[in-house]
Chain A
Amino acid sequence: MNYVLKRLGQAVLTVLVVVSFSFALIRLLPGGPMDYLRAKIIEQGGSDLSQEAINMRIEAQTGITTDEPIYVQYVDYMTGLLQGDFGQSVWFGDPVAEIIGPAIPWTVFLTGTALFLGFLVGISLGAFMAYKEGSRFDVGATGVGLFLNSTPNYVVALLGLTFLGYQLELFPTGGRYASELTVGFNLPFLLSVLHHGALPILSMAIVAFGGWALNMRGNSIRILGEDFLRVARLRGLSTRRIAIRYVARNAILPMYTGLMIAIGTAFGGAIIIENIFAYPGVGFYMIQSINSRDYPLMMGAFILITVAMVIGITIADLTYGWIDPRARGGGSRESY
């Protein structure tokens, strides 16, 4: 129970720090976003805008009232965020929440599926490699795994886009779904979503599974040498039970931390992938905002990506004790 509280506290604290950090970046940096926005408004609205009008425009965009003392600005900014007010996009003119909000599920869909797919294929392959340790298959797969591990996902994405997208026209080259379809739980729509998501997801999953496979292979080989596995064999357990309940489970557990870190990497990696496939997810908007120097949108995207990731990692962390009996009862004892 303590651990859960501690973990939740940590998550909240992280979000708080990230938000404060972004406030500081926007507000406090000389020559930074604030000055840029001001210049931009003046440029757009002409010089006839009063100082107050400019400040109001800025407030609408960033949620920060410039003429108040700094701590008031901070509190306003925080309360605004709590109410879902991330400011207004300079470029699109819409509230940031309205742009990013709908994009989040798509990003989560991409990264989540890719992560799951890569992990699943990786551990299955890795287990099989361990089982066939030393065989030609093992050596070959290890080589392929190392190679995939050395390939950035955007390279796969670009190649996929070129050959499967443009050349063979098997997959669409942009968008989340075919625009003519009605959004909802109908088969054509869902199929279209999968069709559009396939290349981004595959390009992220393909490079990921090599690493998982190698990891799983190493862990499985270690488990295969454990005493309890030998005892299990002597007890006459079926190969299936040994493979699943003994080898797989004990080999996967140590990879859980790696999975947590991979969540972070996946969110980061999705930014590039979304842009290659013009897939309107959070990362897509983030890059858009940077190219157009749309600071409110950029910070909104950054905060939301962080929140999504913090949630993901916290869930993973909290469920770990549930999966591994040894982790129950919390952390290790430390002295000195």
Chain B
Amino acid sequence: MSQDTISMPAGSNDPIIEARNVNVTYDLENQDAMVLDDVDVDLRREEVLGVVGESGSGKSMLANSMMDAVQQPGITTGEIRYHPEPDADPIHVLELSDEELRSLRWEEISMVFQGALSSFNPTLTIGGHFEETLEAHGYDVEEGMERARQLLSDLYLEPDRVLESYSHELSGGMSQRALIALSLVLEPKVLLMDEPTGALDLLMQRSILSLLEDLKEKYDLTLLFITHDLPLVAGMADRLAILYAFELVEVGPSEQLVRNSEHPYTRALLRAVPNLDAPLETMQPIGGTAPNPAHVPQGCHYAPRCPLSTEECHTDDPPWFEVAEDQRSACFHHDEAAEAVPFDVTETALAEMAGEEGPDSDGWSFASDEDVVMSLEDVSVHFDQNEGLVSSMFGESQPVRAVDDVSLDIRENDVVALVGESGCGKTTLGKTVIGVQRPTHGSVSYRGQDVWDAKDGRGDLDIPHSEIRRALQIIHQDPGAALNPNKKVLTSLEAPLKKWEPDMSIEDRRARIFGLLDRVGMQPPQDYAHRFPHQLSGGEQQRVALVRALLMNPDVILADEAVSALDVSLRVETMDLLLELQQEFNTSFVFISHTLSNARYLAEKADGRIGIMYLGEIVEIGPPEEVLGNPQHPYTKVLRWATADLDPSAQEIEEPPVRSIDIPDPVDPPAGCRFHTRCPEAREVCTRAAPDLGNDESTPQVRAAACHRTEEDHAYWDSKPLPEEQPMVAEADD
């Protein structure tokens, strides 16, 4: 052992929770599954500790074990010491009786889960949850509810409305915030957060993070923040702990860790995360897959995927090495890590890219009209809220305006990434592009043939509808749901061929399928072909869906959040595969994403465009370098803000640059510019006049933003700023 190994961080400064040798095991059908392996970590008083790991790395187990809440039949061993006060005797959490645990949980240590919607009793009001919690712990209900209201308004919610609602009546972001308030109602000292923002939009994630910072200051909280999203937490956390395959691999101050990690996994993870700053070439997937809990490798768990691994790594558990002040790494070869897995966060400089690279001279901007595969003209999609005989007789039902007056051309080999918050209509627009969603107004045409005329058999048809149907395909967001659970992969893949190539022999069909499966890296294909979808991993399911779409030989593929359900380390790999196949098959992609970084990766790599959507409209569109490097629309700037930079020093979590963090109801979108209710730059004229997505003068047809501010002599500049009417719920202490 080298000299700088350490047994355990010596009496680290004022820990509030100390975890020592914590193991969580499951005894499953005669085989032990280890889901947390000998973890030592301290949570320091009033710090934010970010725990980062991919799904299935055991990070939730770590949080659960800290309040002895690991679910049956999991067994937690080791030691968890909780220090209520700096000098008081520690409480040994794992040895507490049920009654003692009951008063420890929520009163001292509280927890926020990921799925807020499923964390509330669907048949009890939110207020009821607060009351019963206060009652159960013998708190004064009236006083407690006062505190609850305060917490809710701290989280920019309307207390009265929220308390009276049921969880299904709140949006995801609202119920997540309500859950945070619920976890704080008994004034705990420690808040354990298990992916508290995982299912939310970026903007909401960042907004919640900034609210958490405030709450932490205001209530002197200690936070344990668990996430798979390293950049998200890097800016907020004081320290980071990286988990890989059930064991801790590196712990250290977050900035130091991001800049000078000495563990190959941390470095690989940093590289694998799509982000807005780093040059594309630096983003590299991590090869291999994480181990199954029942088959954890000997020695260092990362050794099978590690470029540095030696014999030693495969046999011995690496000890902790103090690699820098307060930073420890569990790697025998920690001093070689930087060299073997190069990654430099300071390389990240996006701003320079804009301008320097103009629109491609040979790109689509000069392409002739013949190149246009899909053309959308003034397309609107409105949904009636309720249908049915009676309600249409009685009701003045207000339509949801999912897409409003959008024009868009998709060319050969084009990649268009649509980005926006959930509910902005990006999926509806995408489905309109591929001729699945019938527009209420406007026209959708495929190579000059109106798609819906073809479908209805109206007029002279240049291209039959079946041809169009075949040319426009989809890859869904959730790979698990996109495959029929009752059909084997082979059967699912044979369906399109049977339909479109009915004369093909069985052998040909299978050969084709096996060939493609092989091409997307599912080897041996015969084996995969005979599996049911549940026998595939998420990434493999997504590949099957991709193969299915490609078998149709499409011109345009709509990839609806096709990578967001995948693990971080798989995303870059999958996007690369998408792009390779796009080149090979000459297909155009419409890529829908709620994260800018994924959109940027795809659009930039394929020389495509990024379109920013807000409440059914495209507010800005253009090459990624420009849209992201020099955003014109305030909403793009907001999204830009919401996307965490990798470089921790570059990001200070400040107040969200919007006037309201919740999206207005799409049933009744604001008049004038739809963004004016949230826009930090909005002036009086914006409430009346809606800006056009006109062509930007400098780059015709390429770059456009729908904002009055892009026009130099617009009335906007003479208009009065909007009054500060406190659109967000007022901070109660002022």
Is A in direct contact with B (CB under 8 Å) within the complex? yes
Alpha-carbon distance between A326 and B167 when the two chains are bound, in angstroms:
9
CB contacts (< 8 Å) of B388 on chain A: these are 331, 334
Partner-contacting stretch, out of B115-123, B243-251, B520-528, B726-734: B115-123
B390 touching A326, Cβ below 8 Å: no
Give A331's nearest chain B residue, CB to CB.
B388
Residue of B nearest to A237 (CB): B136
Binds A, one of B102-110, B364-372, B409-417, B703-711: B102-110
In the complex, what residue of chain A is closest to B179 when comparing beta carbons? A231
Q: Is A236 an interface residue (CB 8 A)?
A: yes
Contact bitstring A293-334, B, C-beta under 8 A = 1, else 0? 000000000000000000000000000000011100011011
Of chain A, the residue at the smallest CB distance from B101 is A236
Question: B720 near A: Cβ within 8 Å?
Answer: no
Given contacts A234-B67, A236-B102, A253-B123, contact A226 B385 (CB under 8 A): no
Q: Are B113 and A231 in contact (CB under 8 A)?
A: yes
For A331, list chain B residues within 8 Å (CB).
386, 388
Within 8 A of A (CB), among B96-142: 102-103, 105-106, 111, 113, 115, 118-125, 129, 132-133, 136-137
Name the A residues within 8 Å of B133 (CB-CB): 235-237
A73 at the interface (CB under 8 A from B): no
State A250–B123 Cα separation when bound (angstroms): 7
Given contacts A6-B390, A228-B122, A326-B122, contact A234 B111 (CB under 8 A): yes
Q: A168 an interface residue at 8 Å Cβ cutoff?
A: no
Residue of A at shortest CB range from B388? A331
Is A245 in the interface zone, CB < 8 Å from B? yes
Contact of A226 with B118 in the complex, beta carbons under 8 Å: yes
Q: Quick one: which of A257-304 are within 8 Å of B by CB?
A: none
Bound-state Cα–Cα, A253 to B121, Å: 13
B705 → A minimal CB distance (Å):
33
* Bound Cα distance A325, B165 (Å): 10
What CA separation (Å) do A253 and B113 show in the bound complex? 25
| B167 nearest CB neighbor, chain A only | A228
Q: Which of A6, A234, A250, A330 contacts B121 (CB 8 A)?
A: A250
Residue A222 CB within 8 A of the other chain? no
Complex Cα spacing A144 to B86, Å: 59
- A2 and B113 in contact (CB under 8 A), knowing A228-B122, A234-B69, A331-B388? no
Q: Is B395 an interface residue (CB 8 A)?
A: yes
Interface: A82 (CB within 8 A): no
Report if B387 contacts A (CB, 8 A).
yes
Contact across chains for A241 and B123 when beta carbons are under 8 A apart: no
Asked if A227 is at the interface (CB within 8 A of a chain B CB), the reply is: yes
- Chain B residues contacting A249 (CB-CB under 8 Å) are 123
CB distance B118 to A333 under 8 Å?
no
A238 to B71, CA, bound (A): 18
Q: What A residues does B105 contact at CB under 8 A?
A: 234-236
- Asked, given contacts A237-B133, A330-B386, whether A245 binds B115 with beta carbons under 8 Å apart, the answer is no
- Check if B113 sits within 8 Å of A227, measured CB to CB: yes
**Residue tally, chain A, CB below 8 Å to B:** 30
A249 to B122, CA, bound (A): 10
Does B641 reach chain A (CB closer than 8 Å)? Answer: no
CB distance from B263 to the nearest CB of A (A): 33
B391 adjacent to chain A (CB < 8 Å):
yes
Bound together, the chains give a CA A2 to CA B396 distance in angstroms of: 12
- Are the C-beta atoms of B136 and A326 separated by less than 8 Å? no
Partner of B386, one of A226, A227, A326, A333: A333
Assess whether A232 is interfacial by the CB under 8 Å rule.
yes
- A335 contact from B102, B124, B383, B395, Cβ within 8 A: B383
B168 CB within 8 Å of chain A? yes
The reply to whether B71 and A246 contact each other, CB–CB distance below 8 Å, is no
Min Cβ gap A6→B in Å is 4
Residues on A with beta carbons closer than 8 Å to the beta carbon of B111: 234
Does A132 have its Cβ within 8 Å of any Cβ on chain B? Answer: no
A187 within 8 A of B: no
- CB <8 Å contact, B166 and A231: no
Contact A241/B132 with A249-B123, A324-B123, A325-B166 known, Cβ cut-off 8 Å = yes
**B379-397 Cβ-contact flags toward A at 8 Å (1 or 0):** 0000101111011001100
Contacts of A228 on B, CB cut-off 8 Å? 118-122
Tell whether A40 is near chain B: CB-to-CB under 8 Å.
no
In the complex the two chains form, what is the Cα distance from A250 to B122 in whole Å? 8
Residues in A whose Cβ lies below 8 Å from that of B136 = 235-238, 241
Partner of B106, one of A227, A234, A241, A335: A234
Known: A2-B391, A236-B137, A238-B136. A227 touches B119 (CB 8 A): yes
CB pair A334–B69 under 8 Å, yes or no, is no
Instruction: Give Cα A324–Cα B123 distance, bound, in whole angstroms.
Output: 7
> A20-60 vs B: 1/0 string, CB under 8 Å?
00000000000000000000000000000000000000000
Q: Which residues of B contact A237 (CB under 8 A)?
A: 132-133, 136
A264 to B377, CA, bound (A): 55
Q: Report the Cα distance A253→B124, complex, angstroms.
A: 13
In angstroms, how far is the closest chain A Cβ from the Cβ of B135? 9
B124 pairs with A245, CB closer than 8 A = yes
Residues of A contacting B119 in the complex (Cβ-Cβ under 8 angstroms)? 227-228, 231
A residues less than 8 Å from B102 (CB atoms)? 236
Q: How far is the CA of A226 from the CA of B132 in the complex (A)?
A: 18
Q: List 24 A-B contacts (CB under 8 A).
A: A2-B390, A2-B394, A5-B390, A5-B394, A6-B390, A9-B390, A228-B120, A230-B69, A231-B119, A234-B105, A234-B106, A235-B136, A236-B103, A236-B106, A236-B133, A236-B136, A245-B121, A245-B132, A250-B123, A325-B168, A326-B123, A326-B168, A330-B386, A333-B383
Known contacts A230-B71, A245-B121; 19 further A-B pairs (Cβ under 8 A): A6-B390, A227-B115, A228-B122, A231-B119, A234-B69, A234-B105, A235-B106, A235-B129, A235-B136, A235-B182, A236-B106, A236-B136, A237-B133, A246-B121, A250-B122, A325-B122, A326-B168, A331-B388, A333-B386
- Report, nearest first, the 9 A-B pairs whose CB atoms are least far apart: A227-B118, A236-B102, A6-B390, A325-B166, A231-B119, A237-B136, A235-B133, A236-B136, A228-B121
